[in-house]
Amino acid sequence: MEKIVFKTITAIDELNFVLNKIEHYSGVRLPLEYIKRSKTVGAFLHNQLVASYIVVTKPNFRSLLFVPDSVKQAHTFFSNDQYEMMEVNGLWISPAVKTPHMQFRVWLQLAKDIILSKKKYLLLMSSSKNKNIGHLHSLTNPKILYNGAPNLIAGDNCHSSIQVSYTTRWSIILNIPKYLLELRRRQIRAEQFSKERTYIREIKISEAEFV
């Protein structure tokens, strides 16, 4: 079985490579200073970077930056100490991470980093149009803080419409059965897709023999 190795990325050239990957997959360019003050974890397969994510454990958080002040003033969550919060940003997974089991290894490492951070709240942000990420966030039983256009200032880069929510470290732990169920569903879909491809290939071979 192919083994994924996880490493913390610190070199500037490697961080810029990660930023390029994030921009490629999300369409958003994160600032270099933002990633430098955070923990960037890379997943390597055969010494090639195939996935990464950014763990931020100190203010200021990008997810909260884009929430309008009127929402912050009205919601009681924003009265919490920001040093009890963290956010995960810039997650991308290459097509080279082919199987659901390999993908789950990335998510498991991410969950481990979240739990070990010992922060009470996990901030989540995604494009409102990205249903796949939205579904993954839903597995953590999040509470929505804001859904709409981001509050941008000059020079900021973000999605045209965002959803910002939060969950807790304990919710991540308690919802582990959901992650395992999602893994099983993905394995079943992958097995069905493989069988369909094999069936189609056999039909094409059979048809070619009669030409």
- Indicate the pLDDT class of residue 201, thresholds 50, 70 and 90: low
Q: What pLDDT score was predicted for residue 100?
A: 78
Residues 137-157: tens digit of each pLDDT: 777 788 999 988 877 654 455
Q: Please give the pLDDT value at position 64.
A: 92
Q: Is the pLDDT of residue 33 over 70?
A: yes
Q: How many CB atoms lie within 10 A of CB 177?
A: 9
Model confidence at 75: pLDDT above 90: yes
The pLDDT of residue 202: 55
Of 36, 28, 92, 83, nearest to 61 (Cα)?
Answer: 83
CA-wise closest residue to 30 among 61, 6, 67, 72:
61
pTM score: 0.78
Instruction: Provide, rounded to the nearest whole percent, the portion of the chain with pLDDT above 70.
Output: 75
pLDDT of residue 206: 54
In the predicted model, what is the mean pLDDT of the chain? 83
Cα gap 95→194, rounded to integer Å: 16
CATH class of the domain comprising 4-174: alpha beta
H or E, element range at 98: none
Domain boundaries, the chain: 4-174
- Look at 78 and 172; give whichever has higher pLDDT: 78
* Distance of alpha carbon 55 from alpha carbon 69, whole angstroms: 24
Q: Contact 164/126 with Cβ under 8 angstroms?
A: no
* % of the chain beyond a pLDDT of 90: 46
Of the pLDDT bands very low, low, confident and very high (cuts 50, 70, 90), residue 199 is very low
Of the candidate ranges 9-18, 51-60, 92-101, the one whose mean pLDDT is the lowest: 92-101
